[in-house]
């Protein structure tokens, strides 16, 4: 008969997430470009179609962060940003602001297609927010 091995009573879990200060820093140093405008929506009413692009250069914030900019850090940040609800909320607010500026009127973004990816070679985080509101 085999003897049972001892088992741990406590399991350890390590999770990474972006800190509030990190989110502020990354958005504060992002370059933003927006395009688009009002158009006739699929149901015939007024709509807004456009996109907002953000570029965050890690080298530009190197003196403000503890980690040295690298391809690995860029990939980790992009993955963390993509699944962070706080980042998505900020991106939606940014999309509404930029769409409103382009449309010359308030635009409410109900849904947006968001893509966050890492440009490893240039140590940049690239974010695209596509808006198609009717």
Task: Say whether pLDDT at 30 is over 60.
Answer: yes
Query: pTM for this structure?
Result: 0.84
% of the chain residues with pLDDT over 70? 92
Sign of CA dihedral 93, 53, 27, 103: negative
> What's the pLDDT tens digit per position in 44-80?
667 788 999 999 999 999 999 999 999 999 999 999 9
pLDDT of residue 128: 96
- Alpha helix locations (H) across the chain? 20-28, 71-82, 85-103
Residue 19 and residue 76: Cα distance in Å, rounded?
13
Q: Hunting for tokens 């997430």 — which residue is that?
A: 17
pLDDT of residue 46: 73
If you average pLDDT over residues 81-101, what whole number do you get?
94
Banded model confidence at residue 91, pLDDT cuts 50, 70, 90: very high
Q: What does the CA dihedral 90, 93, 99, 103 come to, rounded to 10 degrees?
A: -160
């Amino acid at each position: 008969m085999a003897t049972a091995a001892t088992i741990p009573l406590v399991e350890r879990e390590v999770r990474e997430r972006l800190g509030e200060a990190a989110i502020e820093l990354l958005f504060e140093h992002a370059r933003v470009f927006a395009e688009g405008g009002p158009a006739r929506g699929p149901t015939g009413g007024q709509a807004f179609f456009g996109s907002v692009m953000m570029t965050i250069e890690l080298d530009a914030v190197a003196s403000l962060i503890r980690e040295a900019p690298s391809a690995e850090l860029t990939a980790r940040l992009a993955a963390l940003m993509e699944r962070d609800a706080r980042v998505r909320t900020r991106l939606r607010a940014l999309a509404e602001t930029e769409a409103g500026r382009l449309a010359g009127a308030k635009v409410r973004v109900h849904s947006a297609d968001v893509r966050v990816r890492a440009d490893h070679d240039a140590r940049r985080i690239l974010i695209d927010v596509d808006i198609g509101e009717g």
